[in-house]
Structure 1
Amino acid sequence: MESNKPTVPTLYDWAGGMPAFVTLFDQFYDKVLADDILEPVFKHMSAEHRLHVAHFVAEVLGGPKIYSESEGSHFKMIQKHLSKHLSEAHRKRWMELLLQTADELQLPDDPEFRSAFLAYLEWGTRIAVINSDMAETNEPADAPMPKWGWGVPGGPYIP
């Protein structure tokens, strides 16, 4: 029996696919490097950083596994934040500039997409701040990449 129910796109597809994420993070990191709060944290980032973050976020939101298959893993992403001592001011400014860039690039602004997109960014940046105050992680090296969709993530976070 064939279903006439329309297929729900991934957040990745709804946002515009990889070109949207590459452009988003490229323009976003231009803002970061011009920002008094964030520039000191990111001034020594590698030339590939922008693209790695674009690939990571795209994969989490349902895109191709470019990050996990050729650039890193969730464990490696966690390690990049260890001992960085990020503050809530850093997190909030990172969020503010990224959402500002999303608006400027006219990423979808429907309530469903923005709710899911913002929920992932809130979750991910808060995890980054928690990890940034640790010298090592107890996360297993084979921890799966997060998968974020249109719904809610589940129960409470327990470090």
Structure 2
Amino acid sequence: MQTVYEVAGAADGLLRLAHAWHARVMADEVVSHAFIRGVRADHSQRLAAYWAEALGGPKTYSDSYGDETSVVRIHSGNGPHEEMDRRAIACFDQALVDVGLARDDRLHQVLHDYFAWTTTTTMSRYHGSADDVPDGLCIPRWSWNGLVGESSPDET
């Protein structure tokens, strides 16, 4: 069986998705606030590499950019932001449509579930301070059945 990464178009498909998502969040009056201090020129490439690793692709993110701890620290210490999270997820869902990944219902659902899960759990777990994020976190892996190593929603 192909991985989610492969069915999503591998590195090129996820890079298209990252570009589409980034364009949508920058146009959103709430979510764009997360980028008020600027954005790295290679943001979409780094995001695509992160998603690729999480979805069954190569470990390019971990090998080239950092670990889960570094990613979570970037997203931490900003207080609760449920509205921003909801809007970021909505932008992701629209980006899936923009790049044609919503045509496959199963792929669309698993990508939505992954993004919603990571947005509302790992990326928003440490509201108080980035200093609270533990060292040595690994990028969580996501498969057709959900989070790898834990039971999927269908199995509980």
State the TM bucket, normalised to the shorter chain: 0.7 to 0.9
Match of 1:148 in 2: 142
- Judge conservation of contact 1:15–1:108 (CA < 8 Å) in 2: no
Match of 1:17 in 2: 10
Matches of 1:33 and 1:73, distance apart in 2: 25
- Judge conservation of contact 2:69–2:133 (CA < 8 Å) in 1: no
TM-score normalised by structure 2 residue count? 0.85
Which of 71, 75, 87 does residue 69 from structure 2 map onto? 75
| CA deviation after TM superposition for structure 1 residue 85, in Å | 2.7
Structure 2 stretches lacking a partner, 5+ long: none
Structure 1 stretches lacking a partner, 5+ long: 1-7
Match of 2:91 in 1: 97
Q: Deviations over 1:81-117 (max 9, x none)?
A: 1212351110011111111011121015333222221
Match of 1:47 in 2: 41
Which of 42, 57, 62 does residue 51 from structure 2 map onto? 57
Match of 1:130 in 2: 125
What letter matches 1:103 in structure 2?
V
| CA deviation after TM superposition for structure 1 residue 138, in Å | 4.7
Q: Which moved more, 1:94-103 or 1:108-117?
A: 108-117
Please state whether the residue corresponding to 2:85 is helix, strand or coil. Answer: helix
Greater than 6 Å deviation, 4+ residue runs: none
What letter matches 2:26 in structure 1?
L
- Judge conservation of contact 1:24–1:102 (CA < 8 Å) in 2: yes
TM-score normalised by structure 1 residue count? 0.84
Match of 2:24 in 1: 31
- Judge conservation of contact 1:74–1:145 (CA < 8 Å) in 2: yes
| CA deviation after TM superposition for structure 1 residue 35, in Å | 1.5
Percent identity between matched residues is 24
Q: Which is higher, the Rg of structure 1 or of structure 2? A: 1
